[in-house]
Structure 1
């Protein structure tokens, strides 16, 4: 695991000491830029038509972790960022078929699976991964990414070559890549806080979609989706059946991610998701599990709740209240992120990863539970969404009255199972940060509307179109990989830490999408099913407390600690003016600082402007 950067020449093998010496020098520079992903070693290897670059990160305890790893006759090689959780079962199966293993690493199963199955190998992997494999006898390259998008992979191609890397800023070191921003991606960024795959902020550079691989044979590139589950709600599922299935699958997912690593911790916020992971991980981890909780001086402090869970499961608990100068941390984190990124929780996520990285090499997280089990309050807007606004209002008010008088809702079965026009448009509006009019004013030139992209670019097959399934569909395909997993990957790698996400085990994800929405939201409770399932594991003060989230006090920061940074960075003559309309930028600044507008979307609009300018300074106008 670690980071990867590879060059593929379509028509001829690499000649490192001859005509391709400059390509070799560039490959060495690119892999060095990945040293925070792989601090142990950075190496390049010539193999057929490919220069493999791999930055190694050791946290599994396996021997023989240098990459690329080859098959028995050295005809197939692979580099991989990530972990394969079912490698032991696969290894036993492959040895039974006559394969010989040279290392005890999890990654070696990939080359032998390729010999057996070709591109079908991806369907057998349970893990998080981004990989590049080369069969030099057949001049075939496979480039693949895990099902949910936990590990990133970007690529660029020309008629003569292709480049692949874990991070966009690594590709930008290569002189062949044209320096042109992607206007559609810029519009998506200001709409959504992030740039969703397959876009990147750079024109002609693409991010590989989750659950896909590229089959490359010389000049031909074929994208293949290898995970295509039929995601259909089982409307007849009973609560106890759902609880039992969840507990079994979740236990398996946590156990698979414990591995053999003694240096393992857990991000423990005191919320239900991380607390559930802690409860189950403590049963399987050999030795005392380490847990980490970060409180921010100006933000929510959940340390007392985390302490309750840590005491219950006797973890080696570490607490820290961050006192760093906010402006210093913001500049440092922005310098590492490879694209403009507007989710402010990247700051506390990095601080938590930095603290954990001082003690362990890998942590378990609770990411994904909110999107799978309805953990956000604004899912209630979807739950009460009918094609008629009058009906929506009546049903919502009926439930509110019943909760006040009876202590429970009465309209759980009054849910619109059929799709209607408002299902998607309401959720798009919920997930949009700046509206289309504001984005158009900022860019001042034509672009594809974000609504068009999100309504046409889904890649998973959701059978149902009820309002909540529409919301879960959007979040699983766009928000989760583009925002949350991007944030966790980049913030943790800045701290040279590996994060594992039990809730994102694909078997658990497939099951979660079959659970009827009325078992996820009930009695005005988010994560109703999850809370019922975990009552034997967690105290009620953790299960039923109000969700706080892991955000940052952006408005406070912008008006105080970051005000000078904003004014200096976005002053007239700043780099952002080359791509955005100055009048529209000034309008956001004036409305926030002088007119005192309190709309949180305006606040994040200004935050996104700052992040864009800092990205230009760090990664665009330096090349």
Structure 2
């Protein structure tokens, strides 16, 4: 795991100017690569690399070149099948001199051109520089596990592994995009390819951008997300899934450094921990958990008990509201895009604890989206009964329903059998329709924040209704919130987060399965629960209710952190204080209102801190001050 930054320029820069730009950009992400750095300048592109050593600690520095030096490469991430690729390249006459997974890249490009990307099994953002043809390529892995951003001006193509590196170039004046701001408040994130900053974009997942020396560029997909007709396969084969997941875990445990597992006590991370004990590194693996004061003990106890049963070293950290407030400025700075996931702080603490013992940590991210783990993939008994009544067209019963449900809820349930999109939006949105109208009016926005979800549903019309929901969450929520969370929290602690469930073979396999096997009889994630029984996980883990990664933000905002929340949101120089004050004041009116609207308020809380740090103060280095100092409160 590493990071890189760079610029392609049509404007002649002095060496001093170029060095200053790259130094600012790389300083903003130095946590991503504390072990060594590398540099390349071809005349048409210059870039700097920061390395976190994982494979071949001695000889894996970058950039890495082919035999003639005509092709150079930077890699942020891991190529898990590099050993097989090395054998293939050796048979074709290539001379590889290290054991680094990155070394295969320039040779693969020399042999196969940019089509070599289809050969990779890994998580990656890659820079390829082709000196002979005077062109470069920015490439991002199929699932978007590793980040890559860019911004284009008249004179520069600016790129980097984090958004704040793009801002740190100081080659343009960044502003918040109002449309993206509303999407962020509604969803906690901005969907690919947009960011919260106007005209700063993400390289789309499964895509490469080709850049010429004159800054002409083209965006080209190399991976198509698998779409299979619902019912095109029989029931899932647990043996096949077990073999795929076991192999993915084994591949992702490969490293020349200590490894561990982020163990929440839930099903997904428990499956990874169990399968990890089959590897030859089983005796070396540590597990890590966080528990918040005032939250249920169930998951922390499950994690401890499972680690003990599996013979794995276990570490647990207990956090409070004071920890959260003390870390809020730094947490927001490392979140980068930003990301307002309420579990971000928990993931950050787990990564920091883990960094004391390991350099690689496995995460269960992706399992819920592939195998249907969330509650909105099914209707509760009450809602299912209402949906049946509406579908049955029983007039008297409809009148009775109107006294128990809102009109909006009944409308979305009436549409459920023909399209789950309205219900999906209801379950995954922080804003009501009325909230959206007020915010859109205040910010001068006319487009809908829900259009990205509508587009996802249209892209997946060939699959059944459940897999349509899964496709939407995989390509939006997972890709734009959970994976950036995993990347930023681990990288801030200078460790590498890996996600075995998102091995492309497992993704392809999961979307071949008819949706009716994933949620069965009201049981979500049925396939993974069956697999857990097969490999011998305890019933307490398999049958427990889903709690998600621990967070206590809602409780804190209703109590010990409420004063800070109000101060930040209504501060006259904050983003919401300047642009959204009437709406915010309405939501902060009572403790009950704060509790009811805590998600949208939390998103604004994070956006305010981020705006103050990175737009107004240009804080390119780690902040070492509190929220009180940041907002003078």
TM value normalised by structure 1 = 0.89
Superimposed CA distance per residue, residues 434-475 of structure 1 (whole angstroms, 9 cap, x where no aligned partner): 13431332341124211223323679x646343212210111
Question: 1:381-460 maps to which residues of 2 (within 5 A)?
Answer: 381=379, 389-390=387-388, 421-443=418-440, 444=442, 445-456=444-455
TM alignment of 1:222-621, pairs within 5 A: 222-233=218-229, 235=231, 237-239=233-235, 241-286=236-281, 287-301=283-297, 302-323=299-320, 325-381=323-379, 389-390=387-388, 421-443=418-440, 444=442, 445-456=444-455, 462=460, 464-535=462-533, 536-577=535-576, 580-590=579-589, 592-593=590-591, 596-597=592-593, 600=596, 602-621=597-616
Structure 2: how far apart are the matches of 1:543 and 1:382? 20
| Contact map agreement 2:109 2:116 (CA 8 A) in 1 | yes
Judge which range, 488-497 or 139-148, deviates more.
488-497
Alignment of 1:185-196 (within 5 A): 185-196=180-191
Match of 1:381, SS state, is coil
Instruction: Confirm or deny: 8 A CA contact 1:35 1:42 kept in the other structure.
Output: no
Tell me the secondary structure at the aligned position of residue 284 of structure 1: coil
1:267–1:274 contact (8 Å) kept in structure 2: yes
> Would you say the 8 A contact 1:382–1:471 is kept in 2?
no
Kept in 2: contact 1:366–1:503 (CA 8 A): yes
Partners of 2:506 and 2:165 in 1: how far apart?
34
CA contact (8 A) 2:416 2:423 kept: no
CA distance in 2 between partners of 1:208 and 1:385 (Å): 40
User: CA 1:94/1:48 → structure 2, altered by over 3 Å: closer, same or farther?
Assistant: farther
Where 2:41 maps in the other structure, the secondary structure is strand
Q: For the residues of structure 2 that align with 1:442 and 1:622, how far apart are their CA atoms?
A: 25
Whether the 8 Å CA contact 2:8–2:215 is kept in 1: the answer is no
Deviation at 1:275, TM superposition (A): 0.7
CA shift, 1:42, in A, is: 3.7
Partner of residue 148 from structure 2, selected from 132, 150, 153: 153
Determine if the alignment matches structure 1 residue 57 to structure 2 residue 55: no
Q: String of CA shifts for 1:50-76, please: whole Å, max 9, x gaps.
A: 211111111334432221111111111
Residue 9 of structure 2 corresponds to residue 9 of structure 1: yes
Cα displacement (A) at 1:599 = 6.0
Kindly state the Cα deviation for residue 209 of structure 1 after the two structures are TM-superposed. Answer: 1.1
Query: Which residue number corresponds to residue 206 of structure 1?
Result: 201
Q: Does the CA-based 8 Å contact 1:255-1:284 persist in structure 2?
A: yes
**Stretch moving more, 463-472 or 508-517:** 463-472
Q: 2:631 is matched with which residue?
A: none
Structure 2, unpaired ranges of 5+: 394-412, 619-633
Residues 478/385 of structure 1: CA separation in 2 closer, same or farther (3 Å cut): farther
Deviation at 1:392, TM superposition (A): 6.9
Decide whether aligned partners of structure 1 residues 392 and 227 sit closer, same or farther in structure 2, where only a CA change above 3 A counts. Answer: farther
RMSD over equivalenced CA pairs, Å: 2.6
- CA distance in 1 between counterparts of 2:219 and 2:569 reads 40
Which residue of the partner structure matches residue 399 of structure 2? none
Measure, in 2, the Cα distance between the counterparts of 1:277 and 1:8: 41
Cα distance change on mapping 1:552 and 1:419 into 2, 3 Å: closer
Q: Using the TM superposition, give the Cα deviation of residue 176 of structure 1 relative to its aligned residue in structure 2, in angstroms.
A: 1.6
Q: Which of 15, 20, 24 is residue 25 of structure 1 equivalent to?
A: 20
Once the two structures are TM-superposed, the CA of residue 551 in structure 1 deviates from its matched residue by 3.6
Following TM superposition, by how much is the alpha carbon of 1:382 offset from its aligned partner in structure 2, in angstroms?
A: 9.8
Measured in 2, the distance between the counterparts of 1:120 and 1:458 equals 29
Structure 2 residue matching 1:150: 3-state secondary structure: coil
Quick check: 2:461–2:468 contact (8 Å CA) kept in 1?
no
Asked if the contact 1:384–1:392 (Cα under 8 Å) also holds between the matched residues in 2, the reply is no
Q: Which deviates the most, 263-272 or 566-575?
A: 566-575
Q: How does 1:108-127 map to 2 (within 5 A)?
A: 108-127=103-122
- 4+ aligned runs moved over 6 Å, structure 1: 382-386, 392-395
Residue 153 of structure 1, CA deviation: 0.6
Distance 1:250 1:546 in 2: 23
- Taking a change above 3 Å as real, the CA distance of residues 525 and 389 of structure 1, as seen in their structure-2 partners, is closer
1:215 CA drift (Å):
1.5
Distance 1:475 1:385, change over 3 A: farther
Give the drift of 1:385: 9.5
Under a length normalisation based on structure 2, what TM-score does the superposition of the two structures give? 0.88
Q: Which runs of 5+ in 1 are unaligned?
A: 13-17, 396-415
Using the alignment, how far apart are the partners of 2:347 and 2:167 within structure 1?
26
Post-superposition CA distance 1:12-62 (Å, at most 9, x none): 7xxxxx734302221122112211111123443323422111111113344
Secondary structure of the residue that 1:343 maps to in structure 2? coil
Which piece of structure 1 moves more, 142-151 or 168-177? 168-177
Q: CA deviation at 1:393?
A: 7.1
Contact residue 194 and residue 483 of structure 1 kept, 8 A: yes
- C-alpha separation in 2, matches of 1:27 and 1:384: 58
1:604 to 1:419, Cα distance in 2 relative to 1, 3 A = closer
CA offset digits 1:197-231 (Å, max 9, x no partner) = 11011111111111111112233211111111442
CA distance 1:385–1:589, shift in 2 (3 Å) = closer
Shift of 1:583: 0.8
